[in-house]
A and B are shown apart, each in its own frame.
Chain A
Amino acid sequence: MKIIICIKQVLDTRVPLVVNSSVMQKEPSPVYIMNPADRVALAKALEMKVSLAGGEITVITAGPARAEQVLRMALASGADEAIHLKDEVFEVSDAYTTALALSKVVKELGYTMILCGNRSLDIGAGQVPAFLAQLLGIPQVTGVMGLEIMSQGRVRLWRRLERGRRQVIECPLPALCAVDSSAGQPRYVSEFALKQTVERGILTLMLADIGLTQTDVGPQSSLIRVVSLSPPKPRPKKIYIPDGSMSASQRMSYLLSSGLAKGKESNLLEGTADYLAKQVIEYLVKEGILPKQLAPLEPDG
């Protein structure tokens, strides 16, 4: 079982970005991280490796020199090998050209499964996985929440639908799965673990190694062009409006505490024992804890 994970280094959005008309300007001290969805994909792969008691995990990134940092992080998490497709031009590549470059490397490597993050934190077009699957001619499944390897070279996948619904599908391997960022917890990497990766080698490939040139992956070959970027509109300020069913004193304390002293107003029932019992049963039936057909409780005699 050979799993390849395509990862991307993105800007940490907790640090304010200066947005100009067409480029995301980096502020004086930009902070780069591994794309969260990619981290979850890696965590999923590591889980799979444990449950299958075997397999090899290779991480690949296409990016400038600084992208080595995310490969080190992936190695520290437990990836077996790391490949850095290094060129500064990837800073301005679009989804198609990035996928093209990745596909060349992946083809050489051979694989049973490819995992990607569903969307990146910065641009979030979610197109690289799709282009990559197309270029490789393999099935692609997006929004993957869970995956399980079946026998006969098939994989069963749980897809995220809206409102917590799940779609379960199967497809033959090799396949590409775009893992949703909420599919799991990314693995924490300690500082010591990071330091230990210094001894480990990262395979660095240049464009020439895969038979491409800067023109092939640069803006000239891009299918799309970014016209402009705009900064976010200011957020409306949150104001606290108490629930109408609250008592006057509860509303007072709610407002005075800026919404902190919420209490359990909606769960508090007052009344006779009969009324309370009925309400409790109604609630349990509504939540599906008790069956609906339950005979109403009648007091004996």
Chain B
Amino acid sequence: MLPPESIFGVTPIWPVVYSLAAIALGLSAYWFYRRVLLLLLIGRSANRVNHLWKRLIETIAVVFSQSCSLRSVSWKDRAGIGHFFIAWGFIAFFSSYLLFIFGESAYPGLSTLLLGETAVGRYAFLVNSVGLLLLGALLWAVVRRWVAKPPRLSIELTQSADALIIVALIITIISLAFLSEGFYLASGEAETARGPVGKFLAQLFINLGLSVGTAATLHAVSWWIHFALIMGFAIYIPFSKHLHMVISPLTIFFRSLEPRGSIELVRDLETAKGYSSTSLQNFTWKELLDGYACAICGRCTNSCPAYLSGKPLSPMHLMHNMKDYLLRVGPGVIYGSTAQALIGDVITEEVIWDCTICRACQEECPVMVEHTNLIIDLRRHLVEQSRVSPNVAKALESMRLLGNPWEQPQSGRLDWAEGRRVKLIRDKEKVEVLYWVGCAGAYDPRSRDISLAMVRLLDEAGINYALLGTEERCCGDPARRMGEEGLFQMLACSNIEVLKKYSFKRILTHCPHCYNMLKNEYPQLGAQFEVVHHSQFLLELIRSGRIKPQEGPELRLTFHDPCYLGRYNGIYNPTRQVLQAIPKTTMIEMKLNRGKAMCCGAGGGQIWIQSEKGRRIEDMRFEQVQEVNVQVVATACPYCTIMLDVAAKIKEPTGRIKVMDIAELVVKALGQRV
């Protein structure tokens, strides 16, 4: 793809190349500034600039290894491999442009001078082959998107004109690069051929009887069109979703380094006041940036339980609408004019409340967009503006007044243990384990069985443990994820105050929501505790032989991964190992398991929000259980147990499939009744 040496044999080419490039890149930069940077400055600050070296190194690693897009490759969705070639094709071509276009046009022979004859040959060969792979991957992408149409590429927006323009442009540019090289070689430089494609094309042109003069002209013509298209592409990028090429390294760079899924703490009342009006200034620049990184690949939406169950929420459209709103309204904000409302006109309240904050979208997103943080932030706006449904208001007020979302009195927190000798920490000097029961485990009739099973196991293993009893209050997870940050802080602070009074080694809980809160989010308020989930704890007890599951009847079971245990905390194995420690159990995985497991529909306060549209998520999940032939679906979260149990009662009224917590299964394996 060497440039012609001169224009019509008169003018040297480099001044033209450089000035055209300066104009194109200048325009591109100008629009990038107008359409991105300037608008991002509207947002409030976000604490994402710590650990710069760590961020830089990891970003480089992710971009060059393409681990983000390769991670989501599965047998059914292999597009990530295509992206790998497209990305590397891009990197290869970009570097070759620097050398061959900008270098060679100014100083012919520069590449040889810099790299040496053989290295240039190898480099050209490499670019040639990568170019072929790139073309192949692009054609594959075209077939996938416009012919094969897999589910995630059938979602609205994915087949936009923008997508077509980008693919067509890249295909044309690469083809022209090859053609131009072919013409160049055919015009008498055939012996210097280094790339196989150029060589092949040159041979073809010579065989077709192309004269040397015509080839030289065609070389110049194709090269200039090619160059013009590249410059055009540079100008087009700020207007297209291909901006993700520039922005996604930034979203990866500025990603949250906090534990997965943890939410920004609102530290002062002044920030809190900002939520009482929904304007762009009240979103962080990172939230505004995320929309630009989205390449409309559909992975998030295609994994979203709300979308799949027919609710209006689609994480991809949420990000897209946010970016669209920023582009339309942002300039007005800067220049002081009023505009349409974000919530209501652009993003409906329904969409905001549909989310279960299960993090499936973020697990899938190759460019590390943080959908759930944005949703929680939008909920904060709704809460501060009193725009909440009666269901939400009831749950939140119950948490504030009664200390739990179930509208039960605090004095009844130990009712589940009636008739059992449970020890309270206020009566004890020092304990090894503080068993945090959680609100579900204390009040919900189904979940109380889990607490009883846990107490059985703790007694059986002879653990020195105690409960907080009526001193325990809601951990604040539902409040925080429903956007009631102030209530979360109130509950968390009161819990921290109580916990700090007592002496214990670690906190044990069977609720992944409490686990996630105590372990990952209480540290934001300055409280570090050692927290252990009951799956990890039971595994310890089984491994150390303090609990010995006995042989029982054969049991075929599957495991439903709770979102806040799996995707949030990466605990996938302990739960399965506990189940496998029970003799004669056969574990059968569901189609969607581990990181891809579908939410039960209760997270993020959804158990109280109860979105009405579409199907019930727990029904859909239970149908996936029914697909595998099992007697028991085990889980390790009270919410999941409640939701799946309700679905089971409707879908399997004969009780063929039971929903059980791992603790209940272990108790059963001890030959005891709960």
Taking Cβ atoms with an 8 Å cutoff, the residues of A that contact B are 12, 14-16, 27-29, 31, 33, 77, 185-196, 252-254, 256-258, 260-261
Which residues 622-644 of B sit at the A interface, judged by CB distance below 8 A? none
Given contacts A186-B393, A192-B269, contact A257 B484 (CB under 8 A): no
B276, B393, B410, B646: the one contacting A188 at CB < 8 Å is B393
Chain B residues with CB under 8 A of A196: 269, 273
- Taking beta carbons and an 8 Å cutoff, which residues of B are in contact with A? 266, 269, 272-273, 275-276, 383-384, 386, 388, 390, 392-393, 396-398, 400-402, 407-412, 484-487, 489-490, 646, 649-650, 653-655
Q: Is the CB of B402 within 8 A of A252?
A: no
Q: Which residues of A contact B269 (CB under 8 A)?
A: 192, 195-196
Q: How many A-B pairs with Cβ below 8 Å?
A: 85
Which residues from chain B contact A252 at a C-beta distance below 8 Å? 653-654
Cβ–Cβ contact B393 & A191, under 8 A: no
Q: In whole Å, how far is A180's beta carbon from the nearest beta carbon of chain B?
A: 16
The SS class assigned to the B binding surface is: helix
Which residues of chain A are within 8 angstroms of B486 by Cβ–Cβ distance? 190-195
Q: Contact check, A14 vs B409: say whether CB atoms are below 8 A apart.
A: yes
21 A-B pairs in the complex with CB atoms less than 8 angstroms apart: A12-B401, A14-B409, A15-B402, A16-B411, A29-B411, A33-B397, A185-B390, A188-B386, A190-B383, A190-B484, A190-B486, A191-B484, A191-B489, A191-B490, A252-B654, A253-B653, A256-B649, A256-B653, A257-B650, A257-B653, A260-B649
Task: Say yes or no: A190 contacts B409, CB within 8 Å.
Answer: no
Among residues of A, the one whose C-beta sits closest to the C-beta of B392 is: A188
Contact of B411 among A27, A185, A188, A256 (CB under 8 A): A27
Q: Considering the complex, give the chain A residue whose CB is closest to the CB of B271.
A: A192
Give A28 to B409 CA distance when docked, in angstroms.
11
Instruction: Judge whether A257 and B272 touch: CB under 8 Å.
Output: no
Q: Contacts A14-B402, A256-B655, A261-B650 known; A192 to B384 CB distance under 8 Å?
A: yes
Known A14-B409, A16-B411, A27-B411: A191·B649 in contact at CB below 8 Å: no
State how many angstroms separate the Cβ of A49 from the closest Cβ of chain B: 14
Q: How far is the CA of A220 from the CA of B352 in the complex (A)?
A: 56
Q: Which residues of A contact B650 (CB under 8 A)?
A: 257, 260-261
Which residues from chain A contact B401 at a C-beta distance below 8 Å? 12, 31, 33
Contact A188 to B396, CB < 8 A, known contacts A29-B410, A29-B411: yes
Chain A residues with CB below 8 A from B489, complex form: 191
A27 to B411, CA, bound (A): 9
B386 touches A12 (CB 8 A): no
When the two chains form their complex, are residues A257 and B411 in contact, meaning their CB atoms are under 8 A apart?
no
Q: In the complex, what residues of A have CB within 8 A of residue B487's CB?
A: 190-191
Q: How far is the CB of B498 from chain A (nearest CB, A)?
A: 14
Contacts of B390 in A (CB 8 A): 185
Give the residue name and chain of the A residue nearest to B479 (CB).
A191
The 9 closest A-B pairs by CB, nearest first: A191-B486, A253-B653, A257-B649, A192-B486, A192-B272, A15-B409, A188-B393, A191-B487, A256-B653
Chain B residues lying within 8 Å of A256, measured Cβ to Cβ, are 649, 653-655
CB pair B383–A15 under 8 Å, yes or no, is no
**How far in angstroms is the closest Cβ of chain B from A181?**
12
Q: How far is the CB of B410 from chain A (nearest CB, A)?
A: 6
> What's the least CB distance linking B228 to chain A, in Å?
56
State the Cβ distance, B659 to closest chain A Cβ, in Å: 13
User: Are the CB atoms of A187 and B653 closer together than 8 Å?
Assistant: no
How far does the Cβ of B309 sit from chain A's closest Cβ, in whole Å? Answer: 19
How many whole Å from B121's CB to the nearest CB in chain A?
A: 67
A159 to B156, CA, bound (A): 48
Report the bound CA distance from A15 to B412 in whole Å. Answer: 9
Name the contact of A258 in the complex, choosing from B409, B410, B649, B654 (C-beta under 8 A).
B649
Docked pose: A29 CA to B655 CA in angstroms: 42
Asked if B653 and A16 sit within 8 Å, CB to CB, the answer is no
Interface hub of A188, A193, A256, A257 (most chain B Cβ within 10 A): A188
Further pairs besides A188-B396, A196-B273: 9, Cβ < 8 Å: A15-B411, A31-B402, A185-B390, A188-B388, A188-B392, A190-B383, A193-B276, A252-B654, A260-B646
Question: CA separation between A241 and B428, bound complex, in Å?
Answer: 49
- In chain B, what residue has the closest Cβ to A258? B649
Are B402 and A12 closer than 8 Å at their CB atoms? yes
* Residue on A nearest B487 in the bound complex, by CB: A191
Smallest distance from the beta carbon of A242 to chain B beta carbons, Å? Answer: 12
Q: In the complex, A191→B484 CA distance in Å? A: 7
Chain B residues in 8 Å Cβ range of A16: 409, 411-412
Question: Cα distance A252–B650 when bound, in Å?
Answer: 12
Give the contacting residue for B408; candidates A14, A77, A257; CB below 8 A: A14
* A191 and B397 contact, Cβ closer than 8 Å, known pairs A258-B649, A261-B650: no
* Bound-state Cα–Cα, A210 to B427, Å: 51
Give the complex CA separation of A252 and B652 in angstroms: 11
Task: Specify which chain B residues have a CB less than 8 angstroms from the CB of A261 in the assembled complex.
Answer: 649-650, 653
Q: Given the complex, which residues of B lie within 8 Å of A254, measured CB to CB?
A: 653
> What are the residues of chain A within 8 A of B412 when measuring CB–CB?
16
For residue B411, which residues in chain A have a CB less than 8 angstroms away from its CB? 15-16, 27-29
Complex Cα–Cα for A28 and B470 (A) = 12
Q: Which residues of B contact A15 (CB under 8 A)?
A: 402, 409-411
State how many angstroms separate the Cβ of A263 from the closest Cβ of chain B.
Answer: 9
Q: Is the beta-carbon distance between A192 and B409 smaller than 8 angstroms? A: no
Q: Which residues from B are CB-within-8-Å of A258? A: 649
Residues in A neighbouring B388, C-beta threshold 8 A: 188
In the complex, what's the smallest C-beta–C-beta distance from B354 to chain A, in angstroms? Answer: 19
Q: With a CB–CB cut-off of 8 A, which chain A residues contact B653? A: 252-254, 256-257, 261
User: Which residue of A33, A190, A253 has the most chain B CB atoms within 10 A of its CB atom?
Assistant: A190
Minimum CB distance partner of A193 in chain B: B384
Chain A residues near B386 (CB, 8 Å)? 77, 187-190
Q: Which residues of A contact B266 (CB under 8 A)?
A: 192
